[in-house]
């Protein structure tokens, strides 16, 4: 079973989930100029979420580059993973709308739980393929595989930590979600350098 259709479907979900985020940016108040300044948390939530989905996509790209074939269990793990990714526009809207109100804690928790779930599923997708090199390509590079494994292990813990902090301070929590995204962009670059 080739990997190409899995990639088309996944890329479709990534692209749509990322693009739907813009529907969560709404300016309904008046006058418009003030309203556009007032809704800055919307822009922040859009940017962090889009970047986060972008990072997940780039990493999924890297994973699929090492995967040579798929089986039905792997397909269903991917469906679960994409279900978590496609859920992201909902907590993103919550954060954008409630970050400065009484619902800030609930919104940040919803966002964090979604991201933690996504990270757990991504681990599942990767380790199902990688353990015993079950689905890896014949010529998958041992160092790249080890690098991916190493960089994916902290993911759920980082997100779980940032999520729990929302109980004390939703704002710090959201800043940490941004920081984790940034960390993964930079980490990816370091990681890529290691590949060269």
Among 41, 45, 50, 136, binds its own copies (CB under 8 A): 50
- Choose the stretch contacting its own copies; rule: CB under 8 A; options: 89-97, 122-130, 135-143, 171-179: 89-97
Among 73, 137, 150, 157, binds its own copies (CB under 8 A): 73
What are the phi and psi torsion angles at 70 (to 5°)? -130, 155
Give the contacts of 90 (CB within 8 A, at least 6 positions apart): 110, 114
Q: Which is nearer to its own copies, 9 or 127 (CB)?
A: 9
Binding mask 10-29 for its own copies (x = CB under 8 A): -xxxxxxxxxxxxx-x-x--
67 DSSP β-pair partners: 136
**Cβ burial, residue 102 (10 Å; 0-12/13-18/19+):** exposed
Binding mask 129-168 for its own copies (x = CB under 8 A): ----------------------------------------
- Cα 92 to Cα 20: distance, rounded to the nearest angstrom: 11
- Cα 179 to Cα 23: distance, rounded to the nearest angstrom: 24
Task: Compute the CA torsion angle 38, 44, 45, 49 (nearest 10 deg).
Answer: 160
Binding site residues, its own copies, CB under 8 A: 1, 5-9, 11-23, 25, 27, 30-33, 36, 46-47, 50-51, 54-55, 57-58, 61, 64-65, 71-73, 75-76, 79-80, 82-83, 86-87, 89-90, 94, 98, 102-103, 105-107, 110, 185, 188-189, 191-192
């Amino acid at each position: 079973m080739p990997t190409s259709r899995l990639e088309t479907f996944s890329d479709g979900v990534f692209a749509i989930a990322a693009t739907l985020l813009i529907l969560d940016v709404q300016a309904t108040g008046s006058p418009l100029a003030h309203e556009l300044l007032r809704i800055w948390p919307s822009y922040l939530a859009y940017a962090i979420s889009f970047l986060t989905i972008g990072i997940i996509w780039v990493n999924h790209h890297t994973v699929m580059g090492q995967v040579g074939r798929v089986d039905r269990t792997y397909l269903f793990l991917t469906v679960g993973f994409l279900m978590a990714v496609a859920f992201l526009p909902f907590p993103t809207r919550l954060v954008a709308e409630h970050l400065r109100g009484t619902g800030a804690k609930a919104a940040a928790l919803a966002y964090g739980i979604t991201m933690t779930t996504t990270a757990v599923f991504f681990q599942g997708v990767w380790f199902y393929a990688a353990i015993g090199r079950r689905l890896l390509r014949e010529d998958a590079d041992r160092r790249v595989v080890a690098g991916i494994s190493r960089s994916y292990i902290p993911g759920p813990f980082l997100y779980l930590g940032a999520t729990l902090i929302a109980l004390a301070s939703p704002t710090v929590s959201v800043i940490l979600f941004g920081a984790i995204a940034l960390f993964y962009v930079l980490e990816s670059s370091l990681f890529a350098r290691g590949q060269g």
